[in-house]
């Protein structure tokens, strides 16, 4: 499955979240990660993020799709990640 | 069609982009908008954003889907927008 994760995290925890997500996904823009993962990896990520974050202060939205083909991706301006080379 | 727009804009232009996108979409998190729009509205948005932004400094990613059903949306922590009431 393909996921896009966007987050708004307290500055005390944001680097920890970023370092964690880098293990599974590609950083594409400030506070935005993308990539192909399995269902069990997604469950693991959700579980771990709940531990890392303070759910009364932080906000994470996870958009998931069965396949990347369900989505069209367009960039205006700078492509900050290498994803365009990977696609 | 359903779209998610994430952006990383120079501070000089970010409020203008935010005010513009509010006319079409729902703010859901810092630098993230979502919503249902038509194809022609999306073309209009792309055209207008290219005018507002400096494409050599700013970065906008537009994810679009034929239908919202192609996507699953989960929130960890705070839901910053009203979208959960709308869904």
Q: What integer is the mean pLDDT of A6-17?
A: 96
* Reported confidence tier of residue A86, pLDDT bands at 50, 70, 90: very low
Please indicate whether, in this complex, the C-beta atoms of B62 and A74 are within 8 angstroms of each other.
yes
Residues in chain A: 87
Structure tokens at A28: 């594409």
| A26 occurs within a structural domain | yes
Q: Which chain A residues are closer than 8 Å to B72 by Cβ? A: 63-65
pLDDT score at B83 = 55
In a domain, A81, yes or no: no
Binding site of B, by residue number, is 8
Q: What order of strands is seen across the sheet that includes strand A26-29?
A: A26-29, A32-36, A2-8, A59-65, B72-77
- Does residue A83 fall inside a structural domain? no
A41 band by pLDDT with thresholds 50, 70 and 90: very high
A49 within a domain of the structure (yes/no): yes
Sequence-separated (6 or more) residues with CB below 8 Å from residue B33 = B3, B4, B5, B21, B22, B25, B26, B27
Residue B40: domain span: 2-86
Residue A36: inside a domain: yes
Asked if B51 is an interface residue toward chain A (Cβ–Cβ < 8 A), one would say no
**Separation between Cα atoms, residue A51 and residue B23, nearest integer Å:** 36
Look at residue A32 in the predicted model and tell me its pLDDT.
Answer: 96
The Cα diameter of chain B in Å comes to 37
A14 to chain B nearest CA, in Å?
Answer: 14
CB contact (8 A) between residue A70 and residue B75 = no
Is residue A61 within 8 A of residue B73, CB to CB? The reply is: yes
B5 touches chain A (CB under 8 A): no
Instruction: Band the pLDDT of A85: cuts 50, 70, 90.
Output: very low
Chain B contact for A31 (CB, 8 A cutoff): yes
pLDDT, position B87: 43
User: If pLDDT is split at 50, 70 and 90, which confidence band does A87 have?
Assistant: very low
Which ipTM score applies to this complex?
0.90
Question: In this structure, what CATH number is given to the domain that contains residue A28?
Answer: 3.30.70.240
What is the mean pLDDT of the segment spanning A57-84? 88
- Which pLDDT tens digit goes with each residue over A14-30? 999 999 999 999 999 99
> Is any Cβ of chain B less than 8 angstroms from the Cβ of A43?
no
Residue B82: what pLDDT? 62
The total number of structural domains in chain B stands at 1
**Inter-chain contact B56–A76, Cβ cutoff 8 Å?**
no
Mean pLDDT per block of 10 residues along chain B (87 residues) reads 96 96 95 96 97 95 93 92 55
Mean pLDDT (whole number) for A55-78: 94
Partnered with residue A60 across adjacent β-strands are A7, B76
Q: What gap in Å lies between CA B46 and CA B42, rounded to an integer?
A: 6
CA distances from A55 to A10, A22, A46, A69, B75 (A): 10, 21, 12, 32, 10
Q: In this structure, is residue A84 part of a structural domain?
A: no
In a domain, A45, yes or no: yes
Tell me, yes or no, if B55 comes closer than 8 A to chain A by beta carbon: yes
Q: What is the pLDDT of residue B85?
A: 47
């Amino acid at each position: 499955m393909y996921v896009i994760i966007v987050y708004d995290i307290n500055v005390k925890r944001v680097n920890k979240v970023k370092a964690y997500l880098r293990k599974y996904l590609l950083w594409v823009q400030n506070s935005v990660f993308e990539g192909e993962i399995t269902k069990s990896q997604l469950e693991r990520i959700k579980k771990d993020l709940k531990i890392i974050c303070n759910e009364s202060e932080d906000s994470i939205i996870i958009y998931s799709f069965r396949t990347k083909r369900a989505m069209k991706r367009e960039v205006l301006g700078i492509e900050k990640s290498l994803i365009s080379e990977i696609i």
